[in-house]
Amino acid sequence: MSNDILDTPELNLRAGKPVAVKASGCWVYDTEGRDYLDGSSGTICVNIGHGVPEIISAMTEQAQQLGFAHRNQFASQAVRELTAEIHRVTGHRFKEVVYTNSGSEATETALRLVLNHHAARGDVDRTVVLAQFPSYHGMTAGALSISGHPQRRRNLDPLHDNRLSLGTVAARDAASSLPTLAEWEERFAAIGPERIAAVVVEPVSGAAGGAAELPDETLRGLRELCDRSGTLLVIDEVMTGFGRTGEWFGHDRSGVRPDLVITAKGLSAGYTPIGACLVSREVLPGQSATDAAVGHTMSGNPVSAATALAVLRYMQEHDLVAHAAKLGPLLTERLAEVTAGLEFTRPPRGRGLLQGVPLVQDAEEFATNPLAPRICAAAMEYGLQLYPAGVDARSQTILVAPPLTITEAELDILIARLEQALRLVAATTHA
């Protein structure tokens, strides 16, 4: 299909990218009628697939019924029901759900609640927040100040007064992706545990860490370290949350009780912007977290709430968390097969339907011509959408994270298209 406006060079709308016009299930279609298998759920958010009629009906009905109501003025049925559903799927472990429009805003909310928690105890010098290197917790100034993502932080240091974050904890051993518990403990001792307000970690690192798993023992050790130090434990489940790892949350199987959980993406499966910060009883016992964190014009708007509620119900009706758990090992096996023998890949890692193929490239070549975007571009040529992750040669990874609705037959197509893309890159890399 030709489209004059899109082809106008000054608008540069194509800019080398196909123009998506419709999507259904795990498939996206462009203006030329080509199909793309969505191997990354968009940006790891379209967890139940595209164009699900039940979700579209829920959005439409809510928009017709009540499009906007702000919590300062009205309670809304949609928000009440969503909050009840979130409490149900989290086993009533949290005291409050504070809504935002994105994962970045949920991180900002968590940071504000952390500082409020310590200030309420007169502990105003506890201002250090430690995260992992690599990590990504959002694009807003506060979220970036605690992110181990040099590219996204670039030129933004003047925005951060360096009081909130004294940075990140990195692994010393070049072969390991994430810091060990001993490295966290050393960092606590060096800074002074009484100054550390919070630790923020992802159970499986996404955009920055490339599906590197935080071992359950490390997470349990971090919980103990935080308990001994009066530090709050914040778990970022923006990418892992709501079923992606084969459990509702990536931290569930560790048995660890976080003080705060940050969520977004999968909560509405990409149908509408919404995020949420889940707050435990201990964070602000005498006060409403929602009141303390204030809020945004659109946070907790009825249309996003009705959408997220429909998504959570759809996931349960179709048993999608169990499906992700079942398909995870199959995806690992197929990724291992398709990458076996390639010089520029390492064995797959990750959990459930959040997996990655780590890449091997020397640091100099990574700086000038990184492999991950090349593989993703080649995959697009063969009709497969993937997600390039990592902040340096060590963390560079291709994320493979299809919708939790993917069938085994579609997984076969994903692997076949990936194989073609890898072959093309192998031929051009070693020619």
The stretch among 54-62, 68-76, 235-243, 402-410 that binds ligand PLP (CB under 6 A) is: 235-243
Give the whole-angstrom CA distance, residue 410 versus residue 232. Answer: 42
Which stretch in 73-81, 96-104, 148-156, 178-186 sits in contact with ligand PLP by CB under 6 A? 96-104
Interaction of residue 202 with ligand PLP, rule CB under 6 A? yes
Neighbours of 89 (CB within 10 A): 15
What tokens appear for 222 in the block?
Answer: 């971090």
Q: How far is the CB of 270 from ligand PLP (least distance, A)?
A: 10
Q: Pattern of binders to ligand PLP over 332-351, x per CB under 6 A?
A: --------------------
Q: What's the closest the beta carbon of residue 105 comes to ligand PLP, in angstroms?
A: 7
- Contact (Cβ atoms closer than 8 angstroms) between residue 172 and residue 187: no
Contact pick of 239, 256, 335, 391 for ligand PLP (by CB under 6 A): 239
Q: How many other C-beta atoms can be found within 10 angstroms of the C-beta atom of residue 298?
A: 17
The answer to whether the beta carbons of residues 284 and 120 sit under 8 Å apart is yes
Distance CA 383, CA 414 (A): 9
Largest CA distance in the chain: 66
Distance between CA 96 and CA 391 in Å, rounded? 34
CB of 349 to ligand PLP, least distance (A): 16
- In this structure, how many other beta carbons lie within 10 angstroms of the beta carbon of residue 64? 8
Q: Which stretch in 17-25, 27-35, 102-110, 381-389 sits in contact with ligand PLP by CB under 6 A? A: 102-110
Q: Which of residues 28-87 bind ligand PLP (CB under 6 A)?
A: none
What 8-state DSSP symbol labels residue 213?
Answer: B
Task: Pick between residue 238 and residue 415 the one whose CB is nearest to ligand PLP.
Answer: 238
**Cβ-contact 98, 111 below 8 angstroms:** no
Q: Which is nearer to ligand PLP, 142 or 206 (CB)?
A: 206
Token output for 384:
């497969």
270 part of the interface to ligand PLP, by CB under 6 A: no
CB of 240 to ligand PLP, least distance (A): 7
Contact region for ligand PLP (CB under 6 A) — 101-109, 156-164, 287-295, 379-387? 101-109
Minimum CB separation of residue 70 from ligand PLP in Å reads 21
Q: What share of the chain is helix, strand, coil (3-state, %, to 5)?
A: 40, 15, 40
Q: How far is the CB of 262 from ligand PLP (least distance, A)?
A: 6
Contact of 403 with 46, CB cutoff 8 Å? yes
| Nearest residue (beta carbon) to ligand PLP | 103
Work out the burial of residue 419: count CB atoms within 10 Å of its CB; fewer than 13 is exposed, 13-18 middle, 19 or more buried: middle
> In this structure, which amino acid lies at residue 1?
M
Which of 39, 148, 203, 206 lies at the binding interface for ligand PLP (CB under 6 A)? 206
Q: Would you say 202 or 410 has its CB closer to ligand PLP?
A: 202
Least distance between ligand PLP and beta carbon 382 (Å):
25
Please give the Cα distance from 416 to 394 (Å, whole number): 27
Per-residue binding string, ligand PLP, 103-142, x by CB under 6 A, is: xx--x----------------------------xxxx---
- d(CA 394, CA 86) in angstroms, rounded, equals 36
236 lies in the binding site for ligand PLP (CB under 6 A): yes
Beta carbon nearer to ligand PLP, 210 or 275:
275
Which 8-state DSSP code applies to residue 248?
Answer: S
Residues interacting with ligand PLP, by CB under 6 A?
102-104, 107, 136-139, 202, 206-207, 236, 238-239, 264, 275
